[in-house]
């Protein structure tokens, strides 16, 4: 039944889901919490900003975790603190996912939600776009589309994007947006910080976003603003650079309303995916071994894919399914 439901969802994606407005003049961008009601729908507000004389809010549907940007005027707005908002939406997948991520916050690597859909046959694919001088590894996208186009279209993939990668790889970004516009893939954009600093000498406890002087608020919000300026729709998810964090850092991210996403199958490190795994590869050209391993995995599943016995899952659906258990 899960497979049938997934295919129905894919078939009924509206064209608007693949086309995101470019907000070129973002001003007064702020973290802002509350309830936004319209008709019978009750959304959670995560952000508020202005663009060309209009006020917008970034909303997350708290049950299925998809986000959207909309003008504020059609909604009845109830401002809240984060604590009030989390209490108000306590019974939803959003709050359950945030709480689960916080409970898995003590490890130095791979905090947050690491897998989803444990009873399903297939995986959730995430690819990180860290700063790189190399071009996008396009094999990932062409191969998954060619394998899945007859059984699952658009093919879901979650991309963890940094601000520096976006701004340094405009041609690659345009190519990805074109694939989505053609409904070949559907991208969930994960915030991966702006700078993604890393040191070859510092220990993990002082590295990546744990480096002294790191401004977490700027790392997160500057990336979101650049997403909007590039016509990307921010999701409610965050992935730590290097998968490195501590408990205090995890809470700083959840205090910004974002759900930390880890992995239980970083392919380049030899971790083998299981049913329901959140798989990690790097699409920025810096980790060809992981991409090679994923392509081998895809080809080994060709017949299962044809028989609809091995699918790729939307990250939002995967997390929602996981926390509902």
- Sorted by where each begins, the domain ranges of the chain are 20-92, 94-323
Instruction: For tokens 């299925």, name the residue.
Output: 64
Give 214: exposed, middle or buried? Use CB within 10 Å, 0-12, 13-18, 19+.
middle
pLDDT at 170 over 80: yes
Report residue 138: phi and psi, to 5°. Answer: -75, -10
> Residue 210 corresponds to which tokens in the numbers above?
């744990």
Q: At 325, is the pLDDT very low, low, confident or very high (cuts 50, 70, 90)?
A: confident
Sequential DSSP letters for 115-160: B--TTSSEEEEEEEE---SSPP-THHHHHHHHHHTTTSSSEEEEEE
Q: How far is CA 199 from CA 70, 165, 206, 295, in A?
A: 39, 18, 9, 30
Alpha helix positions (H), the chain: 2-11, 82-88, 93-103, 139-148, 163-168, 170-181, 216-229, 247-254, 288-300, 302-306, 315-323
Residue range 33-91, pLDDT digits in tens:
999 999 999 999 999 999 999 999 999 999 999 999 999 999 999 999 999 999 999 99
pLDDT greater than 60 at residue 284: yes
Q: Are 100 and 246 a contacting pair, CB within 8 Å?
A: no
pLDDT at 183 over 60: yes
Cα atoms found within 13 Å of the Cα of residue 231, Cβ hemisphere only:
16
pLDDT (mean) for 131-142 = 96
Phi and psi at 156, nearest 5°, equal -80, 140
Residue 266, beta-bridge partner list: 280
Structure-token match 């078939």, residue found: 11
Pick the CATH number of 94-323 from 3.20.20.370, 3.30.950.10, 3.40.50.150, 3.40.50.10420: 3.20.20.370
DSSP state of 204: G
The pTM assigned to this predicted structure is 0.94
pLDDT in tens, 189-227: 999 999 999 999 999 999 999 999 999 999 999 999 999
Closest CA to 161 of 80, 100, 226, 95: 226
CA–CA gap between residue 6 and residue 48 (Å, rounded): 32
Picking from 207, 178, 221, 188, the residue whose alpha carbon sits closest to that of residue 46 is 221
pLDDT > 60? residue 10? no
Per-residue pLDDT averaged across 276-300, rounded? 95
So what's the pLDDT on residue 18? 60
pLDDT at residue 12 is higher than 70: no
Which residues are bridge partners to 191 per DSSP? 161, 238
| pLDDT of 103 higher than 70 | yes
CA distances in angstroms from 126 to 58, 64, 296, listed in the order given: 23, 18, 16
Cis before 154? omega within 30: yes
Strand partners, 30: 48
Mean residue pLDDT across the chain: 92
The stretch 219-242 carries a mean pLDDT of 98
Fill in the DSSP letter of residue 113: B
Which of 4-8, 12-16, 197-201 tops mean pLDDT? 197-201
């Amino acid at each position: 039944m899960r497979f049938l439901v997934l295919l129905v969802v894919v078939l009924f994606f509206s064209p608007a889901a693949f086309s995101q407005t470019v907000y070129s003049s973002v001003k007064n961008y702020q973290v802002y919490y509350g309830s936004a009601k319209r008709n019978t729908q009750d959304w959670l507000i995560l952000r508020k900003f202005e663009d060309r004389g209009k006020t917008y809010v970034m909303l997350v549907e708290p049950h299925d975790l998809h986000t959207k940007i909309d003008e504020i005027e059609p909604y009845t707005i109830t401002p809240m603190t984060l604590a009030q908002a989390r209490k108000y939406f306590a019974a939803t997948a959003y709050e359950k996912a945030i709480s689960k991520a916080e409970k898995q916050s003590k490890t130095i690597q791979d905090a947050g939600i690491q897998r989803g859909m444990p009873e399903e046959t297939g995986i959730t694919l995430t690819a990180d776009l860290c700063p790189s001088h190399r071009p996008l590894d396009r094999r990932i996208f062409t191969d998954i589309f060619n394998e899945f186009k007859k059984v699952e279209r658009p093919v879901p993939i979650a991309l963890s994007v940094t601000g520096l990668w976006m701004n340094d790889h405009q041609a690659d970004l345009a190519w990805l947006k074109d694939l989505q516009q053609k409904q070949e893939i559907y991208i969930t954009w994960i915030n991966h910080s702006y700078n993604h600093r890393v040191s070859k000498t510092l220990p993990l406890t002082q590295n990546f976003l744990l480096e002294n002087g790191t401004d977490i608020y700027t790392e997160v919000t500057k990336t979101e603003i650049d997403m909007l300026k590039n016509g990307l729709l921010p999701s409610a998810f965050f992935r730590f650079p290097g998968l490195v964090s501590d408990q205090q850092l995890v809470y700083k991210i959840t205090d910004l309303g974002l759900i930390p996403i880890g992995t239980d199958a970083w392919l380049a490190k030899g971790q083998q995916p299981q049913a329901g795994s959140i798989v990690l590869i790097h699409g920025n050209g810096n980790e060809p071994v992981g991409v090679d391993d994923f392509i081998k995995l895809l080809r080994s599943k060709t017949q299962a894919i044809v028989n609809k016995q091995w699918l790729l899952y939307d990250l939002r659906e995967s997390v929602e399914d996981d926390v509902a258990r």
